[in-house]
Structure 1
Amino acid sequence: MEFKRCSGILMPISSLPGGYGIGSMGKPARDFVDFLTRAGQTIWQILPVGPTGYADSPYQSCSAFAGNPYFIDLDLLAADGLLTKKDYANINWGGDAAKVDYGTLYEKRFTVLRKAYHNFMRQRPVPGYDTPYSDDWYRFQFLSSDWLPDYCLYMAIKEDNGMVDWQQWPRALRVREPEALARFRAEHAEEIEFWAFLQYEFDRQWRSLHAYAKSKGIAIMGDIPIYVAADSADAWAGRELFETDAEGKPRRVAGCPPDYFAADGQLWGNP
């Protein structure tokens, strides 16, 4: 096997300019791909693209499979007729355009994305059906069926409980009692579908960006967290994969022994 030397640049999607508060997968990302081509580079290394939780670290994600809704490009949603420019262009996304204000993003971004979701629900009416869907939507649902339902349910419950850690939820939901989950699904069906819509749009934009980079000869090199986060849909829905007790609390958590950076070692909290 022959190997060829190559080089590239590390650029987190969040650090791209022009994304209304944070970098996005639209024109700013394509502009960076074009820059890499002009610079003679062949690799774009990114940081993890999963949804961030408290402290907004890409290495503590509430899902090992989902994409970060913040990276959904609003201009692309507008091009699809899901938003108008006035829905987002005049919003104050933070005091410093060179920095990401995650508090402001959390307060304002989802309001805009919910507008896009409601417009999505009204698009392409089919006689006899209240909610039309494209074949692409069903394809995404099918290909994501191993993780998407649990993730969307997790996010809807989390939202309904003030975004606290799932280990602080009411016991019936925390330990996934079937009757409690079925009741919640029935009462919050639209909220659950909203989170599915976000992943659908992320997937569409990510695949489009990936194809564009490939057409320019640029390979995207990803990065993933070492461990699954404790407060995640994965730890909540896949408890049998982790060392937990009957209440879902981890029996042991990850960390590292004392070293040059931390005399007492580090306790990361990952199950």
Structure 2
Amino acid sequence: MLRGAGILLHITSLPGGCYVGDLGPEAYKFAEGLADAGQTYWQTLPINHTLPEYENSPYNAVSSFAGDPVLISLDLMKKDGLVDQAPQCPATERADYVKAWEVKRAVLEKALKKARALSDYRNFVDKTPWLEDYAYYMAMRERHGPWGRWPDEAPPRRLVELYKFAQFVFWSQWERLKQYVNDLGILLIGDLPFYPSVDSVDVWRYRQYFKVGDDGKPLYVAGVPPDYYSATGQLWGNPVYNWEALERDGYRWWVERLRHMLEVFDYVRLDHFRGYLAYWEIPGGETTAARGRWAPSPGKRLFDAASAAVELGRLIAEDLGYITPDVEALRDELGLPGMRVLQFAWDGNPANPHKPHNHVKNSVVYTGTHDNNTAVGWYLQEASPRARREFRQYSNCREAVNWCFIKLAYMSVADVAVVPMQDVLGLGPEARMNRPGTVGGNWRWRMAKQPEPRQWRRLRSLARLYGR
């Protein structure tokens, strides 16, 4: 990857929009700010279709291919002539996905009549192989709930078409935004969850590739053992893979998933990279991840199968948590950059790989990730007195904690330094995006407004100083 700096900000966290950040004018303004700040990368969380039943977690989406229709910009729909008027939505401090979809769905339904006459829409429907299954799934789910309870009947055709049209609008807006961002010299980093949700078109359509029963209930679920984030581990609840069935089919579904992601992003972070070699498997019905076991994944065989269809050099390995030497060996054999997180560095151990003097060139350093507290929140709430002393001594910190973290990231030898937007703004724990292992209140943080010019200027100055 090019030596450079970037910002981690999910689309939902942008200001403006209708109850949630979207692909409209504020996204373009933010991209312009990144360019003014000398940034090279904009990293987002997964942009797939999320569900309110699962807190709209981007890591528990209903499809590996469909975009999230709550991100559709009504302003752009009006500009494109799909609707005559765009509703005015009140400013909200926190993302409200339910209200956003309620308003946007009504607008999409009104625009659907015009869509049938659009040649671009018809072409999109004809050339998008996953669209029919997705739209059928969403229509059936809306009428009957998750797929294990479906009757033997077809959903209303108009409902199927609504979901197709929403995807047409989403991907039309996404492609334009990506082109604009790229034209500014900024590269987009996406995020690929390791597992789809059990309540997803992926598991319904390709259930032979997952350990699920005929009733749609997982026989084994995914998670991670106890780690930094949770003393009892994390019980994700996603069904685990039937790797033998996937291997018999040449990992076709997985390869297509990777190919799709690299079409819509310039780089893709592989969440839970250790899962590509071995994964934590928990019997269905358990209430924590503690009674799980390690089971093997195909490792390099999967990437060998994908290498003819995708550029492996555009992947990033999320190698955090319980990482064993064989996982590091796979990462290095594939030549993938790994991750370093500065919040993990302050344990008194000079050999800690997250300390800047132990960073390597082929890596991405973060002040924190979406699963971490903000830098200020970490310092105030989580860091021990010893960790705070070590951090201040190491960084020679004489200013705001967040800027000391940012400087450490920028001066690192790591090719890429990514800073969550909350750390640029100097926000506290109230701005945390996710608390792993918790339910309620996650994925809702939003910026109140675009960053101030002085904040962009400071980032630009640091990027120049440290050759980013």
The normalised TM-score by structure 1 is 0.81
Aligned pairs for 1:138-153 within 5 A: 138-145=122-129, 147-153=130-136
Q: Work out whether 1:26 is the aligned partner of 2:24.
A: yes
Indicate the residue corresponding to 2:220 in structure 1. 252
Indicate the residue corresponding to 2:186 in structure 1. 218
Indicate the residue corresponding to 2:146 in structure 1. 165
What per-residue deviation string (whole Å, max 9, x for no partner) do you get for residues 218-260 of structure 1? Answer: 1111112221111111111110111122333222111122334
Aligned pairs for 1:123-134 within 5 A: 132-134=117-119
- Give the letter for the 2:224 counterpart: C
Aligned pairs for 1:98-137 within 5 A: 98-121=93-116, 132-134=117-119, 136-137=120-121
Instruction: Decide whether aligned partners of structure 1 residues 26 and 106 sit closer, same or farther in structure 2, where only a CA change above 3 A counts.
Output: closer
Instruction: Decide whether aligned partners of structure 1 residues 248 and 259 sit closer, same or farther in structure 2, where only a CA change above 3 A counts.
Output: same
- Give the letter for the 1:52 counterpart: T
Indicate the residue corresponding to 1:8 in structure 2. 6
Indicate the residue corresponding to 1:227 in structure 2. 195
Indicate the residue corresponding to 2:46 in structure 1. 48
Report which of the two has the higher share of strand.
2
Indicate the residue corresponding to 1:129 in structure 2. none
Indicate the residue corresponding to 1:69 in structure 2. 69
- Give the letter for the 1:71 counterpart: L
Once residues 200 and 103 of structure 1 are traced to their aligned partners in structure 2, the CA distance between those partners, rounded to angstroms, is 21
Once residues 5 and 229 of structure 2 are traced to their aligned partners in structure 1, the CA distance between those partners, rounded to angstroms, is 30
Once residues 242 and 78 of structure 1 are traced to their aligned partners in structure 2, the CA distance between those partners, rounded to angstroms, is 42
Contact 2:115 2:121 (C-alpha < 8 Å) held by counterparts: no
Once residues 24 and 227 of structure 1 are traced to their aligned partners in structure 2, the CA distance between those partners, rounded to angstroms, is 25
| More contact order relative to length (CA 8 Å, sep ≥ 6) | 1
Contact 2:198 2:216 (C-alpha < 8 Å) held by counterparts: no
Once residues 260 and 202 of structure 1 are traced to their aligned partners in structure 2, the CA distance between those partners, rounded to angstroms, is 36
Once residues 198 and 34 of structure 2 are traced to their aligned partners in structure 1, the CA distance between those partners, rounded to angstroms, is 36
- Give the letter for the 2:42 counterpart: W
Indicate the residue corresponding to 2:237 in structure 1. 269
Once residues 111 and 101 of structure 1 are traced to their aligned partners in structure 2, the CA distance between those partners, rounded to angstroms, is 16
Once residues 67 and 127 of structure 2 are traced to their aligned partners in structure 1, the CA distance between those partners, rounded to angstroms, is 15
The normalised TM-score by structure 2 is 0.48
Once residues 24 and 7 of structure 2 are traced to their aligned partners in structure 1, the CA distance between those partners, rounded to angstroms, is 19
Match of 2:221, SS state, is coil
Match of 1:228, SS state, is coil
Once residues 232 and 50 of structure 1 are traced to their aligned partners in structure 2, the CA distance between those partners, rounded to angstroms, is 11
What per-residue deviation string (whole Å, max 9, x for no partner) do you get for residues 48-88 of structure 1? Answer: 10111121111110000000101111111111222233x41
Contact 2:197 2:238 (C-alpha < 8 Å) held by counterparts: yes
Match of 1:253, SS state, is strand
Structure 1 residues without counterparts, runs of 5 or longer: 122-131, 173-179
Q: Which has more radius of gyration?
A: 2
Match of 1:223, SS state, is strand
Indicate the residue corresponding to 1:176 in structure 2. none
- Give the letter for the 1:116 counterpart: A
Structure 2 residues without counterparts, runs of 5 or longer: 240-468
Once residues 64 and 33 of structure 1 are traced to their aligned partners in structure 2, the CA distance between those partners, rounded to angstroms, is 25
Match of 2:188, SS state, is strand
Aligned length, in residue pairs: 237
Indicate the residue corresponding to 2:260 in structure 1. none
Match of 2:42, SS state, is strand
Once residues 108 and 140 of structure 1 are traced to their aligned partners in structure 2, the CA distance between those partners, rounded to angstroms, is 24
Indicate the residue corresponding to 1:127 in structure 2. none
What per-residue deviation string (whole Å, max 9, x for no partner) do you get for residues 126-158 of structure 1? Answer: xxxxxx340x2233223321x111110010011
Once residues 138 and 112 of structure 1 are traced to their aligned partners in structure 2, the CA distance between those partners, rounded to angstroms, is 20
User: How far does residue 31 in structure 1 lie from its aligned partner after superposition?
Assistant: 0.7
Indicate the residue corresponding to 1:88 in structure 2. 87
Indicate the residue corresponding to 1:125 in structure 2. none
Once residues 19 and 47 of structure 1 are traced to their aligned partners in structure 2, the CA distance between those partners, rounded to angstroms, is 18
Match of 1:221, SS state, is strand
Across the aligned residues of Structure 1 and Structure 2, the Cα RMSD in angstroms comes to 1.8
Once residues 260 and 69 of structure 1 are traced to their aligned partners in structure 2, the CA distance between those partners, rounded to angstroms, is 34
Once residues 13 and 225 of structure 2 are traced to their aligned partners in structure 1, the CA distance between those partners, rounded to angstroms, is 32
Instruction: Decide whether aligned partners of structure 1 residues 141 and 106 sit closer, same or farther in structure 2, where only a CA change above 3 A counts.
Output: closer
